[in-house]
Amino acid sequence: MKSAVETGYHLDSVDKEIIYMLMDNAKTSLSHISKNVGISTTAVHQRIKKLEQAGVIENSISFLNPRKIGYKVVSYIGVFLDQPSHYHDAVKALKEVNEVVEAHYTTGNYTIFLKVLCRDNDHLMEILNKLQKLKGVTRTETFISLEQSINRQLKV
Amino acid sequence: MKSAVETGYHLDSVDKEIIYMLMDNAKTSLSHISKNVGISTTAVHQRIKKLEQAGVIENSISFLNPRKIGYKVVSYIGVFLDQPSHYHDAVKALKEVNEVVEAHYTTGNYTIFLKVLCRDNDHLMEILNKLQKLKGVTRTETFISLEQSINRQLKV
DNA sequence: AATGAAAACCCCTCTTT
DNA sequence: AAAGAGGGGTTTTCATT
């Protein structure tokens, strides 16, 4: 038998139904969930508390739609560093750049891999210039998203 | 004067304070926000409703922590298609693959760019095999995230 | 746009099985 | 692990400025 550390928290079908409803809308009421899954609101509440304590369900956040406030360009940027040892300094500098919403230390071609949101292509150029001036950055490679056809959370 | 279509919905400082609180925690109560920004709960409520109707604030969702249910590998995969015309068929097929959480039609090297969540490297290999069998796919290139150092929403 | 008050609803705890 | 009942807080509406 595998341990929970390896396989993760075990979700039964009721847990999954609850989680999917909350993943779709964090403000779904207990009574609504209760009617859907067929157990009392108290039971739903107990399960959610357990899932939160286990860390399976994390915080809930509201989304700001970047497009609606004028941010229309989504891009991914691969960053080459001259030395991987510059990674931590680079991340520190990247945190100061609001347009950078994700940063990963990756295997493969790049040292750091970014997701960047910009208003338009001129704005993206500005950000690219800023990135290329960071210490240790030798080169960048940019992929602009022309259309995001899938955007969702994991289904298990 | 620029139109709202170009510049987006205009957010005043109070709107921004409200949005940042909700972006941090979707369940922040109106009374808590009210105390923080210095207007009544009703006024906060009215502003949130306006922002929701304008689409600036989108749905709020709860996060499932993939790691806690055994999904420990985050990767980005660039997909080469023999013909861009196969894009829509490919997206349709990709939607059936639960592990694919983002798909973008991009400029640059790749035709399609994916974010994929897997349990482990063996699981990732399975997914890569599956992707390479899709019609029109000639080659893939994978970046595994060893560490995600930034993960946040846009700040404006 | 903002306010206070009232109504409706919801979360959460307690007790019990 | 689940259920019902009750108190306290929250959202939502309404009338007013």
Joined tokens for residue B113: 């760019």
Can you name the residues that pair with B144 across neighbouring β-strands? B75
Distance, Å, B127 CA → C5 C1': 59
Q: Does A4 touch chain B (CB under 8 A)?
A: no
Nearest by CB to A66, from B91, B147, B154: name it. B154
- pLDDT computed for residue B129 by the predictor: 98
For strand D, which nucleotides have at least one atom less than 7 Å from a protein CB? 1-5, 9-15
Among A119, A132, A121, residue whose Cα is nearest residue A93:
A132
- pLDDT computed for residue A2 by the predictor: 43
By three-state DSSP, how is residue B69 classified? helix
Per-residue pLDDT of chain A (156 residues; tens, 9 = 90+): 444 556 789 999 999 999 999 999 999 999 999 999 999 999 999 999 999 999 999 999 999 999 999 999 999 999 999 998 999 999 999 999 999 999 999 999 899 999 999 999 999 999 999 999 999 999 999 999 999 999 999 998
Report pLDDT digits (tens) over B32-68: 999 999 999 999 999 999 999 999 999 999 999 999 9
* Nucleotide closest in space to B46 (CA vs C1'): C1
Joined tokens for residue A67: 């497009």
- Burial class of A16 by CB neighbour count within 10 A (0 to 12, 13 to 18, 19+): middle
Joined tokens for residue B40: 């009544």
| Spatial contact of A107 and B146, defined as CB atoms under 8 Å apart | yes
Q: Does B125 touch chain A (CB under 8 A)?
A: no
Instruction: Give the integer Cα–Cα distance in Å for A113 and A105.
Output: 6
Nearest by CB to A143, from B60, B103, B108: name it. B108
Fill in the amino acid letter for A149. Answer: S
Instruction: For residue B123, list chain A residues with Cβ-Cβ distance below 8 A.
Output: none
Instruction: Give the integer Cα–Cα distance in Å for B83 and B85.
Output: 5
- Of the pLDDT bands very low, low, confident and very high (cuts 50, 70, 90), residue B8 is confident
Secondary structure letter of residue B86 according to DSSP: G
Q: Hey, which bits of A68-136 come out as E strands?
A: 73-81, 100-106, 112-118
The residue assigned the tokens 């109560």 is B29
- pLDDT computed for residue B7 by the predictor: 74
Q: How far is A92 from chain B (nearest CA, A)?
A: 9
Instruction: Give the integer Cα–Cα distance in Å for A19 and B143.
Output: 29
Instruction: Give the integer Cα–Cα distance in Å for B154 and B144.
Output: 24
**β-strands A73-81, B112-118 pairing:** unpaired
- pLDDT computed for residue B1 by the predictor: 43
Joined tokens for residue A140: 């960048």
Nearest by CB to B27, from A54, A60, A71: name it. A60
